[in-house]
Structure 1
Amino acid sequence: MWPLLDYRSSELVDYHCLHLFGPLFKFEAKESEYEWALRPLWYHATLPDQEVSLDEFVYPLYQRTRTPEATKSVTFNLFRAESSPDEESFSLYPLLFYRRSEQRGNEFALFPLAGHLEKRLGRRKIDFALFPLYSRTLRYEGAVTHNLLWPIFHIKHGPDNESGWGIWPLYGQGQRDRSYRERFVAWPFVVLRDEYRDGVFVPARRSYFPFYIRQLDEDFVETTLLWPFLAYRENTDEAYREWDIPWPLVRISRGEGKHVNRFLPFYADETYRRIHKRWIVWPVYKFEEMWTPDYDRNRHRVLFFLYDSLKETDPQSGELQRQHTALWPLMSFVRHGQVRELRVLSLLDPIFPERPPLERNWEPLWRLFARRWDPYGNSALTVFWNLYWQERRGDDVARELFPLFDYRREGNSVNFGLLKGLIRYRSENGHSRLSFFFF
């Protein structure tokens, strides 16, 4: 009764699938795995034997996962809750934070009224009251900073006689024995910093913005004149030299660790460590390469997501491991190992490639054609939400074009029908039968 009802099953592989109103409702059972979907409002999947479940409501509005170890809930990436035997936490970013954990510490904060945070924003501890009126931070190395009317007033102290104070942006200073000395005047126009190296304090930063900026490290030197028009940096550790004239439009880099020719927005070719990028008439065309011990990746993009082609190969054998090609909004092609899939239409996948929640909740609503296959003779095909569908597992095959015909072959059994069984032919183990008018 397409498109109102579509039901298929296979006792051989313990598979049952029911669709109502095309892609809107789905129930699927595969051995011990069960799925329900009322698209795009609700999706539920469960593995009862493993006590694992997944719920999604109008994704990305709400998502919840349950395992024997923990339960996690996310609401539009703003509200997060997690509970486990060792930890309980929830947050409503950026207003409310709560966590009870022996390993990560306890915290509670109601921003901007008052709160205590642990291991956030690069700090070991953060305390505040009526922020920005007062806040206190503790760094991992032990320095404590008190802020009044952040970021205007601050006082800090720490180990090795570390101390400092500031009235931003007018004046500030800080120092630590055998570590550093720094000060600023009318920030960011004058910033000075010395660091302790080889038994003496040496200049590490001299900034008279925007006229002259110089930064020195043990293996790095950067000099800027009339920012952003001219900058030169040299990195002896990574063996390269670099010029910006001006930043970020023109950059030239030369050396073993880096090679860049950038003339934005017309052309850019950049190689740094294991990554190579090339832009032509930004953002018309971009090419990226990446080399890792596990895979080599190359990616071509036209106008960000209008055309996107990604391939990952084995660095030793060169064998293709993963592929994703999309032409928005017409189609996308995906390959994982030996399994390939072609989809038409594809509205979200080219923009947010390979996001399983979008594939479960949204993509089936407008997918007119889909085909999945592997080199072992297994395949599945659907057109117009199963108006025509075909499945093949080895030598077994099933296909149907509603309401004209249906055909199934499993082993020595053949079942062929016209007009939903008005005329039907069956054959099994050498015995044949022809029936009419659904009998």
Structure 2
Amino acid sequence: MREIRYLKYSFLFLSLLFALPLFSAERTWLEASPLITIYEDTETPPQSLWLRFMGPAGEVSLSPDAKENAFAFRPLWSMEQRPGLHAQDFIWPLGVWRDAWYVKFCWFVLFYHAEDKGSDGWRTHLIPIWFSGSKPEQGFYWGLFPVYGNLYDFIGYDYVNFIVFPCYWYAEKNGTKGEGYLWPIVNWDNGPRSDKMRVFPFYAYNHLFGEFYTESYLWPIFHRSRSENPDIPGKGWLFWPLLGHTEWKDTSAWSFVWPFFQVSHRGDDGFGLNCPWPIFQYAKNMSKNGNYKLMILPFWGQTETQDNSSRYVLWPLGTWTQDRGGDKTTEWLWALPLYWTKSVCDKEGKRTELYRRFWPFASYYEDPKETDLRVLDIWPQRNMPAIERNWSPLWILFRYRETGDSAMWDLFWGLVRHTASPKEGEMYSWAGFYKVAYQLPAPLENAEAPVESPASYPVTTRDFAGGFLRLSTMNDGELRWRICWCLEF
């Protein structure tokens, strides 16, 4: 009994000891990283309160107006709230729940359910076996694949009906109706802009009204086509794999053992040669804006158009591209799989964006508003929201961020941390055991309302053991001590 009472009192004492820093901590910080960290982001509006616990696993972010909040216990669960979106993930990508302004949906592994806002429509699927839903005009619909299905808004089609697929298939999309038997062997489509038919492999045609008409016999052996566009007259045929010929407006081409060998001409000075494709490719002035291409794969390649330039070395490992379209110039450089970079400049040549990736070790991003350096950065795509919420904090060992006049870096999920800003001064923290803050501004500079600045205020503070002991250097040079978070002398 005495041992139980002793354990109870010990637990209460330790709880109080741990809670004291929380109750008497500064407005911005509670440091016990990587166990727990609480701080306020005073530099990036809206000013948010952040709580991080258990290293990178736990995170809470609260905005003052409660319109933009985030919660996470990685990788099991995360939630994000902002105007127009409420998102939750469960071991992403296995489980997802979204509530957006136009739709609400969720999925878990192969189960999917969605509800359309503004109508009574909904969809429930157990992929790839069961599909069902309801629309206000059509009512309830369902499908049991591959036995029978009578479905709306399905795999890109407006309406789909199938019976013992692929024995029978019917679909509608944008006014075009299609029907197939033993799909894809027998199939035809008819709509306001096109007409298609296929009896594979014996015969097929594709007619895009006013544009072109193509036919094939004993596919892939013989094909022929003709243009119906008066601005681009032409025709062509291919007896595969031996010989083919096309004539389109001012361009003509002969192919031998297509697609490996082809000779093309355009006007008086346009010429192209594949010999054999894709190893050797050459083209010059084969478009109305003029172009140039020389490819000797995989060793070297070069392409030039009016708005784009590209170079290749040991393709696809080494690639450089430049896009000069619009009011900016974008350059990409890849040295796969370890390095790639993106640079954007305005029309005056001033760089407005820079991104470098040393995969999977580090990434660096810079624009006029922010700088972001990460070590490790495993996911190859930058700033994918679901990855940022659920996974990337788990593997980022070091991060440096700079926004405006403020900067911070974080090592081993807050084990070592540094922040600097005009409003808060500079701060170093080592796992909550030691924290030093210096160049602290006068209280008047941080006050939300004008107040009289005190004659004496700290310009440097040193905290030991989570603030159990503090040494403060005042602006007049005086040294002050504080013990047990509250006893000052």
TM superposition score category, shorter chain reference: 0.7 to 0.9
Q: Which residue matches 2:436?
A: 406
Q: Which residue matches 1:355?
A: 384
Amino acid at match of 2:293: V
Stretch moving more, 252-261 or 214-223: 214-223
- 1:346 pairs with one of 368, 377, 384: 377
CA distance in 2, matches of 1:258, 1:77: 48
Is 1:372 aligned with 2:406? no
Larger CA Rg, structure 1 vs 2 = 2
Q: Which residue matches 2:70?
A: 35
- 1:6 pairs with one of 37, 42, 59: 37
Is 1:61 aligned with 2:94? yes
Instruction: Mark the CA change 1:80 to 1:280 in structure 2 (over 3 Å): closer, same or farther.
Output: farther
Instruction: Mark the CA change 1:165 to 1:377 in structure 2 (over 3 Å): closer, same or farther.
Output: closer
Stretch moving more, 14-23 or 408-417: 408-417
Q: Which residue matches 2:179?
A: 146
Is 1:296 aligned with 2:329? yes
Q: Is the 8 A contact 1:194 1:204 kept in 2?
A: yes
Amino acid at match of 1:128: F
TM-score where L is the length of structure 2: 0.73
Amino acid at match of 1:366: W
Q: Is the 8 A contact 1:396 1:411 kept in 2?
A: no
Cα deviation, residue 23, structure 1: 1.0
- 1:330 pairs with one of 336, 344, 361: 361
CA distance in 2, matches of 1:224, 1:158: 33
Q: Which residue matches 1:190?
A: 222
Q: Which residue matches 2:482?
A: 435
Instruction: Mark the CA change 1:28 to 1:146 in structure 2 (over 3 Å): closer, same or farther.
Output: closer
Q: Is the 8 A contact 2:212 2:229 kept in 1?
A: no
Q: Which residue matches 2:7?
A: none
CA distance in 2, matches of 1:78, 1:246: 48
Cα deviation, residue 190, structure 1: 1.3
Cα deviation, residue 113, structure 1: 3.2
CA distance in 2, matches of 1:401, 1:373: 20
Cα deviation, residue 128, structure 1: 2.9
Amino acid at match of 2:480: R
Cα deviation, residue 61, structure 1: 2.5
Q: Which residue matches 2:167?
A: 133
Instruction: Mark the CA change 1:9 to 1:427 in structure 2 (over 3 Å): closer, same or farther.
Output: farther
Amino acid at match of 1:135: W
Cα deviation, residue 367, structure 1: 1.9
| 1:52-107: CA deviation from partner (whole Å, max 9, x where unpaired) | 4221222222333324443244557995735221464566666566676789x998
Instruction: Mark the CA change 1:327 to 1:145 in structure 2 (over 3 Å): closer, same or farther.
Output: closer
Superposed counterparts of 1:261-300, under 5 Å: 261-272=294-305, 274-300=307-333
Cα deviation, residue 434, structure 1: 1.9
Instruction: Mark the CA change 1:110 to 1:410 in structure 2 (over 3 Å): closer, same or farther.
Output: farther
TM-score where L is the length of structure 1: 0.81
CA distance in 1, matches of 2:106, 2:326: 34
Instruction: Mark the CA change 1:45 to 1:124 in structure 2 (over 3 Å): closer, same or farther.
Output: closer
Superposed counterparts of 1:193-208, under 5 Å: 193-196=225-228, 204-208=235-239
Instruction: Mark the CA change 1:36 to 1:268 in structure 2 (over 3 Å): closer, same or farther.
Output: same
CA distance in 1, matches of 2:340, 2:299: 20
Is 1:396 aligned with 2:431? no
- CA RMSD in angstroms comes to 3.9
Q: Which residue matches 2:200?
A: 168
Q: Is the 8 A contact 1:334 1:341 kept in 2?
A: yes
Higher relative contact order (CA 8 A, sep 6+): 2
Is 1:249 aligned with 2:279? yes
Instruction: Mark the CA change 1:235 to 1:188 in structure 2 (over 3 Å): closer, same or farther.
Output: same
SS of match in other structure, 1:6: strand
Instruction: Mark the CA change 1:282 to 1:297 in structure 2 (over 3 Å): closer, same or farther.
Output: same
Cα deviation, residue 37, structure 1: 1.0
Cα deviation, residue 211, structure 1: 0.7
CA distance in 2, matches of 1:92, 1:217: 49
Instruction: List runs of 5+ in structure 2 lacking aligned partners.
Output: 1-31, 444-456
CA distance in 2, matches of 1:27, 1:153: 57
CA distance in 2, matches of 1:7, 1:277: 49
Is 1:44 aligned with 2:105? no
| 1:169-218: CA deviation from partner (whole Å, max 9, x where unpaired) | 134568899887654332110123344466xxx87231210011223334
Structure showing the higher strand proportion among its residues: 1
Instruction: Mark the CA change 1:358 to 1:253 in structure 2 (over 3 Å): closer, same or farther.
Output: same
Q: Is the 8 A contact 2:407 2:420 kept in 1?
A: yes
Stretch moving more, 247-256 or 224-233: 224-233
Instruction: Mark the CA change 1:23 to 1:179 in structure 2 (over 3 Å): closer, same or farther.
Output: closer
Instruction: List runs of 5+ in structure 1 lacking aligned partners.
Output: none
Q: Is the 8 A contact 2:371 2:402 kept in 1?
A: yes
SS of match in other structure, 1:420: coil
SS of match in other structure, 1:36: strand
Q: Is the 8 A contact 1:182 1:194 kept in 2?
A: yes
SS of match in other structure, 1:421: coil
CA distance in 2, matches of 1:344, 1:269: 34
